[in-house]
């Protein structure tokens, strides 16, 4: 039985507690949270001991789950790794690039399992295309959210866009060539809305827009590649594929169009979207990686790479704002 300790039991932390309770082979030993009111409520509702000493909770566990604000990530992850404990940490991996690099180094030296909570990797709409051959040359991303003071200790880049950065880096098997970005802080001191263009060495271009001051919600990624278009709706958990019909495309809606090079047959399909709980699945995968000694699906290196791109974007936005 894998003993788990949760650090931070606010809004998202409670989701984690609910899911850990349902995961076979894992046992919650307690939680750490400096807020007395939240801690009292959680202790009573979940019948779970509150630890007042972070070190004591780490000592009592096999693995920790850090669902606290970003500025606490490094301190608790570092302590756990040094004690040989496995770590699951919410995104972004850490508050600064220096902290992130240090955690990657410590994890490599200790041999523990480390997973970063880029939960969109487990979104059913994304899982629906996991067996497809993806080689996009143009990617269009929109992630729009209504304003919520929670999470505003970091910019919209590290709060929202980092989800899409991680997804794109997992799809595009190429290094980043250049980044251009602009953003503006409307309600907070850091960018609340941003538009970014990432060019990769293989020629792929990704256009990303993220906002946390929108009137409507949207979480969509559109992939364009030779012979096909793939639309992934992370919010409504739907996926659609429109492509040139091939011999293997049966049971699809198809129609003909005239092109300069003759008639082409277009096939439209909605792949089966699995019914999964993304948070539960990512925590289960973390548990399985520990018990089976396999690689975590979203490793500390993945977390570092997403942060690296996010920080390059913030640098570009900062420079743009200074020069005007």
Q: Is residue 234 helix, strand or coil?
A: coil
Cα of 121 vs its chain's centroid, Å: 6
Cβ(57)–Cβ(33) under 8 Å?
A: no
- Which secondary structure element, helix H or strand E, spans residue 304, and what is its range? helix 300-323
pLDDT tens-place string over residues 170-195: 999 999 999 999 999 999 988 999 99
Structure tokens at 12: 């998202």
Superfamily the domain 122-277 falls into: Dihydrodipicolinate Reductase; domain 2 (3.30.360.10)
CB 283 within 8 A of CB 297: no
Both structure tokens of 53: 């000493």
Whether the CB-CB separation of 182 and 194 falls below 8 Å is answered with yes
Best CA proximity match to 309, nearest among 194, 219, 187, 225:
194
Prediction pTM value: 0.93
Cis peptide bond upstream of 181, omega within 30: no
* Beta-sheet pairing, 86-90 with 114-117: parallel
Alpha helices in the chain (DSSP H): 11-22, 36-46, 54-60, 73-82, 97-110, 124-127, 156, 162-171, 278-292, 300-323
Sequence ranges of the domains in the chain = 2-120+279-308, 122-277
Does CATH place domain 2-120+279-308 in 2.20.28.270? no
Q: Where are the beta strands (DSSP E) in 61-128?
A: 63-66, 86-90, 114-117
Q: What does the pLDDT profile of the chain (324 residues) look like in tens digits?
A: 999 999 999 999 999 999 999 999 999 999 999 999 999 999 999 999 999 999 999 999 999 999 999 999 999 999 999 999 999 999 999 999 999 999 999 999 999 999 999 999 999 999 999 999 999 999 999 999 999 887 777 889 999 999 999 999 999 999 999 999 999 999 998 899 999 999 999 999 999 999 999 999 999 999 999 999 999 999 999 999 999 988 878 778 899 999 999 999 999 999 999 999 999 999 999 999 999 999 999 999 999 999 999 999 999 998 765 433
């Amino acid at each position: 039985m894998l003993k788990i300790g949760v650090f931070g039991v606010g809004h998202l932390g409670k989701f984690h507690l609910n899911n850990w309770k349902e995961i076979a082979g894992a046992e919650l030993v307690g939680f750490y949270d400096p807020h007395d009111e939240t801690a009292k409520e959680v202790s009573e509702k979940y019948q779970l001991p509150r630890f007042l000493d972070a070190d004591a909770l780490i000592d009592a566990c096999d693995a920790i789950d850090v669902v606290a604000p970003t500025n606490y990530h490094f301190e608790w992850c570092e302590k756990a790794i040094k004690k040989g404990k496995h770590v699951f940490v919410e995104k972004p991996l850490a508050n600064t690039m220096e902290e992130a690099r240090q955690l990657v180094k410590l994890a490599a030296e200790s041999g523990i399992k480390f997973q970063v909570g880029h939960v969109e990797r487990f979104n059913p709409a994304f899982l629906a295309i996991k067996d497809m051959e993806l080689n996009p040359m143009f990617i269009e991303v929109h992630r729009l959210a209504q304003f919520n003071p929670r999470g505003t200790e970091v910019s919209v880049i590290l709060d929202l866009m980092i989800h899409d950065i991680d997804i794109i880096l997992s799809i595009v098997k190429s290094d980043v060539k250049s980044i251009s970005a602009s953003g503006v802080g409307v309600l907070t001191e850091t960018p609340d809305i941003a538009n970014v263009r990432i060019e990769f060495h293989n020629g792929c271009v990704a256009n990303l827009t993220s906002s946390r001051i929108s009137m409507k919600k949207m979480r969509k990624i559109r992939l364009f590649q030779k012979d096909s278009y793939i639309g992934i709706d992370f919010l409504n958990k739907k996926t659609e594929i429109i492509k040139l019909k091939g011999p293997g495309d049966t049971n699809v809606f198809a129609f003909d169009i005239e092109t300069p090079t003759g008639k082409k047959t277009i096939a439209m399909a909605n792949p089966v979207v699995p019914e999964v709980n993304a948070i539960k699945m990512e925590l289960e995968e973390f548990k399985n990686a520990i018990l089976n000694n396999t690689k975590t699906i979203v490793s500390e290196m993945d977390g570092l790479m997403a942060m690296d791109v996010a920080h390059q974007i913030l640098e570009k936005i900062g420079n743009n704002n200074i020069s005007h």
